[in-house]
Amino acid sequence: MKVAIYARVSSDRQAEKELSIPAQVKAIQQYCQERGYIIVSEYIEKGKSAKTDDRQEFQKMVAVAKRSNRPFDAILVHKFDRFSRKRDDHVIYKALLAQVGVKVISVTEQTDNDTPQDKLLEGMLEVMSEFFNANLAVEVRKGMAQNAKQGFNNGGTPPYGYRTEHVAIGAQKTKAVWVLGPREEVDIVKWIFNQYAYEGIGYTKIASELNRQQIPSQKGGTWSSSTIRAFIFNEAYVGRRCWNKQDYQTKGKKWRDRSEWIITENAHPAIISLELFNKCQEIAKGRNNGGGETHKPFDRKSSSPFWLRGTITCDKCGSRMVGNSTSSKTKGGKKHYYVCGGYLRKGKEYCAYVGWNKEKVEEIVSNRLRIALMRLLVNDNLTDELRLFYTENNQHRIAQKANIENEIKFLQKRIKLIEEDIQVGKVKSYHQEMLTEMQDELREKTAEHLRVTANWSEFNVPEESIVAIKYDIQTFLGLLDQDVPNPQLLHTIASKYISKLFINRDAGKVYLTLQMTHDDKLLFEKTMVSEWH
- Give me the count of residues in the chain: 533
Q: Other C-beta atoms within 10 Å of 332: how many?
A: 6
The reply to whether 10 belongs to the active site is yes
10, 41, 106, 225: which is the annotated catalytic residue? Answer: 10
Q: Tell me the H-state helices in 150-273.
A: 183-198, 203-212, 225-232
Task: Say if residues 77 and 107 touch (Cβ distance below 8 Å).
Answer: yes
Burial class (CB in 10 A: 0-12, 13-18, 19+), 220: exposed
Q: What's the CA angle centered on 301, arms 299 and 303, to 5 degrees?
A: 110
**How far apart are alpha carbons 32 and 76 in whole angstroms?**
9
Cα maximum dimension of the chain: 104
Amino acid type, 508: G
**Which distant-in-sequence residues (6+ apart) come within 8 Å of 345 by Cβ?**
204, 207, 224, 225, 226, 319
First to last CA, the chain: 60
Burial class (CB in 10 A: 0-12, 13-18, 19+), 520: exposed
Backbone angles phi, psi at 212, to 5 degrees: -60, -40
Using only the alpha carbons of the chain, give its radius of gyration.
31
b vs e for 31-56, b when ≥16 Cβ sit within 10 Å of the residue's Cβ? bbeeeebebebebebeebbbbebebe
Strand pairing of 174-180 and 162-168? antiparallel
Backbone angles phi, psi at 172, to 5 degrees: -125, 20
Task: Say if residues 511 and 505 touch (Cβ distance below 8 Å).
Answer: no
Strand pairing of 335-340 and 321-326? antiparallel
Burial class (CB in 10 A: 0-12, 13-18, 19+), 153: buried
Query: What amino acid positions are annotated as catalytic residues?
Result: 10
